[in-house]
Amino acid sequence: MAKRVLVPIDGSEQARTALEYALEEFAEETVTILHVIDPREFNTYGGIDGWVDIDDLREQRRAQAEKLIEDARERAAEHGITASTDVVTGKVARAIVEYAVEHDVEHIVLGSHGRSGISRILLGSVAENVVRRSPVPVTVVR
């Protein structure tokens, strides 16, 4: 039986590299590509002309997520892989781990932004949090 592999993506170069790695290394496995929309992004948007309509912002983020997922699905198809995809909302690291548990994922492959020092402390590291919380093996690709 094929192993279930989860590849979270965020549109970054590191996520694209992780996806490529997963498509090459786990070509015989069942691959799921996941994007997490962080609802905290909706709490800080404002501008010179006033506040942005939150519902419009949610729709924009959902459309961006769907485009990102579609591009990743096409990349998988180029490797001869029919990947399943999903978009969820939540705190990114927590949502990735919860998704893995709920969907019986057996391995997670994700990119690392390679932050260090104060930026890692202030911004946190999704990859680091996933590694700490995941009940399954995690491959972090730089």
Q: What is the pLDDT of residues 81-107, one digit of tens each?
A: 999 999 999 999 999 999 999 999 999
Which DSSP category does 41 fall into? G
Query: Is the model's pLDDT at 21 over the cut of 60?
Result: yes
Q: What is the model's pLDDT at position 142?
A: 84
Tell me which residue of 103, 101, 91, 90 sits closest to 129, measured CA to CA: 91
Tokens of 139: 């491959």
pLDDT in tens, 122-137: 445 899 999 999 999 9
Model pTM score: 0.87
The rounded distance, in Å, linking the Cα atoms of 136 and 28 is: 19
